[in-house]
Structure 1
Amino acid sequence: MPGRRRAVACLALALPGVLLSGCGIYSFNGTNIDPSVKTISIQTFQNTAPNAPAALSQRFTEDIKDYFQRNTTLKLVPRDGDLQFEGNIAAYDYAPAAIQQVGTVSQAGTNRLTIQVQLRFTNTKDSKQDFEQTFQSQADFAATQDIATVNNDLNAIRNITRNIISDMFNKSVANW
């Protein structure tokens, strides 16, 4: 009898998930995608920021594709997807974030890297969801790290772009 109770309890816990996922609109990862939306196209985000590393455009584009493929069931197509993403890396700024006084000299205590990405999102199934928006994220670095050091730290830049991608995801398919 205890085994039967355990099986019923497991079924009771699993059944709501099966029922909710069957409708195709809501999922446990927070997306709110209409069931008629099946495909997504993500064009290469061009790098128009003069200070950004050359590889940032390709890396950012591949990271956003990976993020959507991991978190949705949408099929990635080269162009004309039901959901379309295109844009550019608009700013890549490394500047002092905190000034400190060392003797009689003012110098950077912390430097901040700020990345801005402009996105044009098109939902071919519901044009009321279309938008254009600039997304931004930043991280602070020790004053001893120059921009070349930061540019060579792939994890540092990826942490910043991961925040931007998450915000884009939430705005486009989670309706947050």
Structure 2
Amino acid sequence: MTWNKRSGPKSLSSWMLSFSLVFLLALTGCSVYSFSGTNIDPSVKSISISTFQNTSNNGPSSLSQRFTEDFKDYFQRNTSIKQVPRDGDLQFEGEIIAFDYAPAAIQQQDGRDQAGVNRLTIQVRVKFTNTKDPTQDFEQTFQQPEDFPATQDIASINNDPAAVRRVTQRIITDVFNKSVANW
């Protein structure tokens, strides 16, 4: 602790408080930063998200609808942009192109090769259009895996929405980070 004749004792904590206040004031003056981690231009007012069709020939029948609704919910929770049916300043469209369930780790058991772990892999092709800044547009395939015990077959995975949702949530987070968080 140091002593200042004009203002009295100064401690490290009062210095940190002053620094924090200045830092927060500087952040609030920057209109494209938000605490959700987004980096959205202030001129962007709307977002449109088309239905992601499941063209993979696999997966639960509700996969397309569930993925699209989760996608919309994620953006609604993490941005203040208004969602519109079409022609938003930010536009997302795409399709679920793979829903694969296959052995990931082969083990020898009783002289035979058997799956020790099965892996679910989901791939989603996403086209992102930013009408305010076309340099940020992209078309990319996002993929995430999830491993399951070999005792769980594809039917049990399809009947367990939480298992599939864990994978799709990671894909949605990756798309969010690439499009509006600029990671």
Q: Give TM-score scaled by structure 1 length.
A: 0.90
1:166 to 149, 170, 173: 173
What does residue 3 of structure 1 align with? none
- What is the Cα deviation at residue 15 of structure 1? 5.9
What does residue 73 of structure 2 align with? 66
What does residue 41 of structure 2 align with? 34
- What is the Cα deviation at residue 131 of structure 1? 0.5
Q: Write out the 4+ residue segments of structure 1 that deviate beyond 3 Å after TM superposition.
A: 9-19
Between stretches 97-106 and 83-92, larger displacement belongs to 97-106
Does residue 129 of structure 2 align to residue 122 of structure 1?
Answer: yes
For the pair shown, the structure with the greater C-alpha radius of gyration is 2
Structure 1 Cα separation of the partners of residues 65 and 48 of structure 2: 15
2:91 to 79, 84, 95: 84
2:164 to 157, 161, 168: 157
C-alpha distance 14-67 of structure 1, shift in aligned 2 (>3 A): farther
Supply the RMSD in Å over aligned alpha carbons.
2.0
Name the SS of the counterpart of 1:24 in structure 2.
coil
Name the SS of the counterpart of 1:86 in structure 2.
strand
Does residue 102 of structure 2 align to residue 106 of structure 1?
Answer: no
Structure 1 Cα separation of the partners of residues 103 and 54 of structure 2: 23
CA deviation digits over 1:98-145, x for unaligned, max 9? 011111211111000000000000000011111000000010000000
Name the SS of the counterpart of 2:177 in structure 1.
helix
Structure 2 Cα separation of the partners of residues 15 and 173 of structure 1: 26
Does residue 143 of structure 2 align to residue 133 of structure 1?
Answer: no
Structure 1 Cα separation of the partners of residues 144 and 156 of structure 2: 19
Q: Give TM-score scaled by structure 2 length.
A: 0.87
Structure 2 Cα separation of the partners of residues 173 and 104 of structure 1: 52
Unmatched runs of 5 consecutive residues or more in structure 2: 1-12
Number of matched residues? 173
Structure 2 Cα separation of the partners of residues 134 and 123 of structure 1: 18
1:53 to 40, 47, 60: 60
C-alpha distance 61-13 of structure 1, shift in aligned 2 (>3 A): same
What does residue 10 of structure 2 align with? none
Identity percentage over the alignment? 67
